[in-house]
Amino acid sequence: GDPSLIDGTFIDRFDIIVLSRASLKTKLFINDNCRKRSKHIAFYSVDCKDSCGEIFVDLQNHSYLQKKPGGEPEQQELKYPSLQEAISVPWKDLSKKTTKLYYAMRVLESYESSEGRDPGETSLSDLPAVLALRKDMCDRMSLDESRIPTSLLERLLAAGKKEHPPVCAILGGILGQEVIKSISCKGDPIKNFFYYD
C-alpha cells in the first residue's frame, strides 16, 4: 500500500516494526517515522530474492548486556544509523570485505525505484538497463564494476518475486532471534546489515 497513509499515531502503537519485501521508498519512510517518534521503535527490514537475503536493523540508540567469558555481563551501547544514512555511505569508503550482495541489492532497489516497480517485479529482460545503472552507480561511487558481478544481477533479476523457502526460514529464524535480542536487551545484535547467500 501507500506508506504516506501511515501516520505517527499508528506507528506509536508499536515497539518494533518489521517490513518484508517493501520498496525502498516504503522502507525509508517507515524507518524515518520510527526515528521521529518520542519513544524508541526498533526497525527491521528483510528481503529474500532467490537464494539470497538481506536484513537491515536500526535500533537507534541501543543498550544491551554482553556476556564476557568467565565474567559478569557488561553493559554495551550502540548507536545505529538510519537506513538513509547507511545506504548513503560512498561505496569507495566501505570495507573491501563488503559483500557483493550489498552493492547488487542497492542497484536493484535503485532500478525498481526509478522504474516505479514493486520489489521483485523484474526479469532478465531488464538486464541491459540494470547493467547501465550499475555502470552509472559504480562511476559515481568510484567502485570497480567487477564488484557487482553480472551473473549475480542476472540471478537476482531472473528470480523476480521467487524466494527459496529454506532461505526464508533461515532469514526468519535469524530475524526472530534479533527481535528477541532487541526486546530482552541481551546479546550482541546485528549491526546494520546481514546478508545470506
pLDDT tens track for 111-130: 999 999 999 999 999 999 99
The pLDDT mean for the chain works out to 94
pLDDT of residue 70: 84
The radius of gyration computed from the CA coordinates of the chain, to the nearest angstrom, equals 18
Whether residue 108 is found in the same domain as residue 13: no
CB atoms within 10 A of CB 41: 22
Whether residue 174 is found in the same domain as residue 105: no
Whether residue 168 is found in the same domain as residue 77: yes
Instruction: Look up the pTM and report it.
Output: 0.92
Do the beta carbons of residue 74 and residue 68 sit within 8 Å? yes
Closest CA to 157 of 84, 52, 83, 45: 52
Write the pLDDT tens digit of every residue in 28-77: 999 999 999 989 999 999 999 989 999 999 999 999 998 888 888 899 99
**What letter does residue 71 receive in the DSSP assignment?**
S
* Domain extent at residue 104: 91-159
pLDDT of residue 4: 74
Whether residue 14 is found in the same domain as residue 75: yes
Q: CA 97 to CA 89: how far, in whole Å?
A: 15
Count of structural domains within the chain? 2
